[in-house]
Structure 1
Amino acid sequence: MLNWLDAAPRRVLALISAACVAMLAFGMYLQHVVGLEPCPMCIVQRYALIGVAVFAGLASARGQKGWWMGWGLLALATAGFGAFVAARQSWLQWYPPEFATCGRDFYGMIESYPISRAIPMIFRGSGDCAAVDWTFLGGSIANWSFICFVGIAVVLLALLARGLRARAA
């Protein structure tokens, strides 16, 4: 598999971008077909997936090593941010706050408060961020999201490390 990273880094990046689009489509399915409403942290994770998809897609667009490594680094940072948000939501689900309130929705927070107050409110979570509405093999959406973000980050990290090692040689 590591040889595939060396042989076709642009294909790996395109595959990462396609996987992110597939996960976004599954999120839309859960929302619009199953009827699950996303919490503020779920929406932030969606934006992180969009960022990873866009950055990985741009990285795969050109064959120049500096181009795909730069965009790949941004995709890695965005995947790390997504993993952080998913881990925080998983923690809230395992240890729910004593006073669970449903709070405002994501867009209500952004529209009503300055960004310096809205961002801490998003990460503080709310009653609906701590709720587990759907599970698969014992894991919630946040747990699976964390696993996906970490998997993407590991592949990107291996791809970038192999690219740097080839550049130094």
Structure 2
Amino acid sequence: MLARLQYLSVRQWSLAGLAFCILMMLVALGLEHLAGLEPCPLCIFQRVAVLAAAAVFIVAAFHNPAGRLGPVIYGGFSLTAVLAGIVVAGRHLWLQSLPPDEVPSCGPGLDYMMDILPMRDVVAMVLSGSGECAEIDFLLLGISLPGWTLIGFLVLALAPLGILYRSVRGLWP
């Protein structure tokens, strides 16, 4: 099985990454619309990271670059999006681990902040966290949703790492 992975093309790695991004978004939207769980601002940022990775995977799948430079670029951009998701999910888990007296107070809603603040300030405020991001609404096997999202991002990282590994080793056909 592992021997086969080293012969996957950029297109195959990208389609695998895209399929996993679609799965992650389907789970997120299902939990929102079917289970009634409203996403907090950090959850929305995690979705943005998934969508950013998916966008890079789509372009890489259509382009299917040969040589070393193209795969390094696509692998780097998609890995950057995945790493951003890992950071946000890790921050979310950290907020959930705080004792109740150390949880930041709830701030204004994301829609309101987007309307009145510059994007840089919105990102800074969301990453600083709020009380709603520290609430644990759902557990599966003792792991909260940000924990499952972090696991998902770690699995998703295999696609860009596969692309980068192959390009660095010079194994592209």
Question: Which stretches in structure 1 are left out of the alignment for 5+ residues?
Answer: none
For the Cα contact (< 8 Å) 1:10–1:60, is it kept in 2? Answer: yes
Structure 2 residue corresponding to 1:164, chosen from 154, 165, 168: 168
When the two structures are superposed, what TM-score results if normalisation uses the length of structure 1?
0.89
Partner Cα separation in structure 2 for residue 161 and residue 15 of structure 1: 16
Percentage of matched positions with identical amino acids:
31
For the Cα contact (< 8 Å) 1:40–1:129, is it kept in 2? Answer: yes
- Give the deviation of 1:5 after TM superposition: 3.5
Question: In angstroms, what is the RMSD of aligned CA positions?
Answer: 1.9
Partner Cα separation in structure 2 for residue 87 and residue 99 of structure 1: 16
Could you tell me which residue of structure 1 aligns to residue 28 of structure 2?
27
When the two structures are superposed, what TM-score results if normalisation uses the length of structure 2?
0.87
For the Cα contact (< 8 Å) 1:83–1:149, is it kept in 2? Answer: yes
Question: Which stretches in structure 2 are left out of the alignment for 5+ residues?
Answer: none
Could you tell me which residue of structure 2 aligns to residue 74 of structure 1?
77
1:89 and 2:92 equivalent?
yes
Could you tell me which residue of structure 1 aligns to residue 65 of structure 2?
64
The residue identity in structure 2 corresponding to 1:93 is: Q
Residues 90 and 166 from structure 1, CA distance in 2 versus in 1: closer, same or farther, beyond 3 angstroms? same
Residues 2 and 85 from structure 1, CA distance in 2 versus in 1: closer, same or farther, beyond 3 angstroms? farther
For the Cα contact (< 8 Å) 2:95–2:103, is it kept in 1? Answer: no
For the Cα contact (< 8 Å) 1:59–1:70, is it kept in 2? Answer: no
For the Cα contact (< 8 Å) 1:59–1:71, is it kept in 2? Answer: yes
Equivalent residues, number? 168
Could you tell me which residue of structure 2 aligns to residue 12 of structure 1?
13
User: Which structure has the higher relative contact order (CA within 8 Å, separation 6+)?
Assistant: 2
